[in-house]
Structure 1
């Protein structure tokens, strides 16, 4: 059917739909509706035509073969496969070549042009069926085919609604004349088909009952007349047995009279199964009675009526076999060992039945053709104004800008005519609006031109300002580079200065110790000398108080200077230390920190409490340890003298990271000092508390390098809370090392 006809993507659901339709085609013929013997209403072509429309000719042929396969055992010949498979090929070819998508119209063309001639050819010249049976078969296939095409066409109007469920890429709309055509055909054709089916089934039952009643009447009459004749012959013979020849001749005439003008066969059979007399036997001849020679006998009636169906050595339709079938009933003859059999051929009744069926088919077909032509004409007449209206109103705004529309369609349907009138009014209103819009547009263009000039000037000024800002940003970026260089130079200077200052301190410290040792030796030497009281009073304070006290000041200053130099070295090395990022178990980190200061904690009588749940974070284990070690060390240094120190360590997880809190109940920090504690060498109580004032400075530097933040909340004489925010740990653990 080409790309336009094959509107389907072969997804899993679409293939499932294809298999379901092929199975439905076979089931439609398997569960066909029986009209009468040899004639069935086959529904399989409904699904076959759907496959043709949705999947193309090839799959339609596959569906046709699958559906028509059941007709071989159903009718006793394979020839129905030919015209049942020709139907999807013909309809699919027209769908591919034609512009319309009306499968009902194409199917209505197939049967008179191709299907019916094929049925005539095979029934007449291949299977040698009677003209009456051939005509009935032609009309039956014709009516059934058009009816199934109508049902398939109606189903196709609803498939676009379920198209997304099965991967169908079909248009969601259908032409209105298709819809009107299908509805008109369905309103007339479907009721007539139902009446035809009911009439066909009733006609066969009526003729069968008539035949059964005739067989029973003939059997009763023949049996009664035969018993009377036998009594008459017995009375004439005066007790002697009548001769067989005389009995056969007498009974032959009685059976002929009992049959009358009916095409029946009446036979009198003895107890040994031999013919005594019969309407079709020669009087006096004795032969065995075989009512169904070479055929199959089966009971079909409740009153003992059997049907003899002849067998065929070649494919013969069930219609033809039924034509050659006979119905019989055999009953015992009262008072004897004989039996009476009546046989009736079905051919006369079948001819009458076919006549009735052909009449009903002709009526339905004639009605069908009339409705087909009427539906086509009426649907086009009803749809033509709408189609013309859709053409006129397509791209209506642009057309109204180019021209005035005068060729409006007309319709005899009031609703359609009103719709056309509404479009006329709307087009007039749109024309007026367009004129107003045109005038407004011209005015706006003038204002836009003025405004554009203003914007152009403003844009030039803005571009100038942007250029100036870019120049300022470039200057800032040079300044930033210079600042970074100066910071590196300053770190180098600090490192060199702290390193170089250590040598003089070592010399001062060494000579101080040597001077102290020399003073001790001089004291010993002076003790052995005999000095007067004035000299003794003058020298002893110098050797035992003034000089040792001065040396003590020098030593403490050297130690203080050494501690400051060590802090400067640590601070200068901090920016060059590599960071190894990894997921940290903060319980383990805190345990190690507490273990390292256990002596100080016990000496201070303090208590450190860690929350049961400390969330892990991402950071460098050495530097994170240094952060919390400094915070815990500060808590121990600045504890209150009037209460035991208690330190609480907790954590809380947020979207931006993990926030840790180190809370103590120490002396607290005054509000004016809370920003200064992060400065280098700054201490709250320089004379009372040991330290260099570098711990919090280094803590902030480390936190900044780790991508976190640190701040303090404190109240004097209550305590302090130091907050540290570090990055969250990911789902899977891992680490990466980065340089300074």
Structure 2
């Protein structure tokens, strides 16, 4: 055995040499294992697969009655004075099986996710009418003269129904994100933020809030989704305020890598421990319990919207000092 054969024999992949006529003229030890035949038995046999030099190919072999998937790469060489093809062959059966299983699992998860979204949408639709009736009739009752204890009970019913309505709306919003094929357009985030502040004008006046708005960038996005994102961030800052302290909210355009945009939304509210920074994006997760009204869906909806656009959102906070949310989005979709 010469030096070249010694090197080839100790490579981790199966190696064959095939002459210009397609006949195997050399096989190393790994080739014996891959094909289940001795090197002497392989030599002199036609390889049987077309070769495309410098290109990875996938081939299937039959070994001991079992199908084996292998990755093949061919290179043109000169061997003992004649032109030949050096074939490097790797058994990828396990990797291929794992990849197929992952694909099947992903498909099952996609089907399950779509079924869950459809169920949430249908359930929220069916629940709206009973809640509407509860609110209508409790409202009518409150228009009459009632004993104090009766009025208190009816007001509790109405309050619970309002929370239920908000929860149903939130579930419907959460399930709807990403179901339809998104239509991306050029969106001016400064203009969207102005619309949000206009719609929240009453809350801003009631809380005495001040909102500092820097020039936010233009991006390619779903306009309605950007409105929901900014609405939830600003409304969140207004809601989680400290007693006796007017909310101070600042939105800034931040530096970002090329092809990306980033902005932040900061407030001086109740804040939160940084250890909870990730869990607060989970649906129905409410850090402050019953201290503040809400459904625990707003930030989950923000995360879902940002994911839909291929971006990221994170939060930082300090209890009693406020919170900052950082949003990073691609400037162009599919770029």
The TM-score normalised by the length of structure 2 is 0.69
SS at match of 2:184: strand
- Kept in 2: contact 1:619–1:726 (CA 8 A): no
Kindly name which structure, 1 or 2, has the bigger radius of gyration based on alpha carbons. 1
- Kept in 2: contact 1:616–1:729 (CA 8 A): no
What's 2:31 paired with? 456
Alpha-carbon offset, residue 487 of structure 1 = 0.9
Question: Kindly tell me: are residues 458 and 591 of structure 1, through their superposed partners in 2, closer, same or farther at Cα, counting changes over 3 Å?
Answer: farther
Identify unmatched segments of 5+ residues in structure 2.
12-27, 36-67, 71-89
SS at match of 1:580: coil
SS at match of 1:579: coil
Question: Kindly tell me: are residues 589 and 558 of structure 1, through their superposed partners in 2, closer, same or farther at Cα, counting changes over 3 Å?
Answer: closer
SS at match of 2:290: coil
Counterparts of 2:142 and 2:8 in 1: how far apart (Å)? 96
Alpha-carbon offset, residue 563 of structure 1 = 1.7
SS at match of 1:665: coil
Counterparts of 1:624 and 1:449 in 2: how far apart (Å)? 59
What's 1:648 paired with? 250
What's 2:285 paired with? 682
Check if 1:662 corresponds to 2:237: no
Question: Kindly tell me: are residues 514 and 718 of structure 1, through their superposed partners in 2, closer, same or farther at Cα, counting changes over 3 Å?
Answer: closer
Alpha-carbon offset, residue 717 of structure 1 = 2.0
Alpha-carbon offset, residue 472 of structure 1 = 1.9
Aligned pair count? 266
Alpha-carbon offset, residue 701 of structure 1 = 0.9
Check if 1:492 corresponds to 2:138: no
Q: Which has the higher helix share?
A: 1
Residue-by-residue CA offset, 1:643-671 (whole Å, 9 max, x unaligned)? 44322211124214011111222221112
Check if 1:505 corresponds to 2:80: no
What's 1:422 paired with? none
SS at match of 1:687: helix
Alpha-carbon offset, residue 603 of structure 1 = 2.3
Counterparts of 2:124 and 2:258 in 1: how far apart (Å)? 42
**Alignment partner of 1:628 out of 230, 234, 248:** 230
Question: Kindly tell me: are residues 646 and 502 of structure 1, through their superposed partners in 2, closer, same or farther at Cα, counting changes over 3 Å?
Answer: closer
Question: Kindly tell me: are residues 658 and 506 of structure 1, through their superposed partners in 2, closer, same or farther at Cα, counting changes over 3 Å?
Answer: closer
- Kept in 1: contact 2:138–2:155 (CA 8 A): no
Counterparts of 2:139 and 2:206 in 1: how far apart (Å)? 32
What's 2:102 paired with? 476
What's 2:77 paired with? none
Question: Kindly tell me: are residues 547 and 465 of structure 1, through their superposed partners in 2, closer, same or farther at Cα, counting changes over 3 Å?
Answer: farther
Alpha-carbon offset, residue 590 of structure 1 = 2.2
Counterparts of 1:586 and 1:446 in 2: how far apart (Å)? 66
- Kept in 1: contact 2:189–2:216 (CA 8 A): yes
SS at match of 2:289: coil
- Kept in 2: contact 1:670–1:715 (CA 8 A): yes
What's 1:735 paired with? none
Check if 1:570 corresponds to 2:129: no
**Alignment partner of 2:195 out of 586, 589, 592:** 592
Alpha-carbon offset, residue 582 of structure 1 = 2.3
Question: Kindly tell me: are residues 553 and 605 of structure 1, through their superposed partners in 2, closer, same or farther at Cα, counting changes over 3 Å?
Answer: closer
Question: Kindly tell me: are residues 679 and 547 of structure 1, through their superposed partners in 2, closer, same or farther at Cα, counting changes over 3 Å?
Answer: same
Identify unmatched segments of 5+ residues in structure 1.
1-441, 521-542, 731-740
How much is the aligned-residue C-alpha RMSD, in angstroms?
Answer: 3.1
SS at match of 2:101: helix
Alpha-carbon offset, residue 445 of structure 1 = 4.5
Alpha-carbon offset, residue 470 of structure 1 = 0.9
Counterparts of 1:514 and 1:641 in 2: how far apart (Å)? 33
Question: Kindly tell me: are residues 450 and 576 of structure 1, through their superposed partners in 2, closer, same or farther at Cα, counting changes over 3 Å?
Answer: closer
Counterparts of 2:321 and 2:247 in 1: how far apart (Å)? 11
**Alignment partner of 2:3 out of 435, 439, 444:** 444
Alpha-carbon offset, residue 477 of structure 1 = 1.1
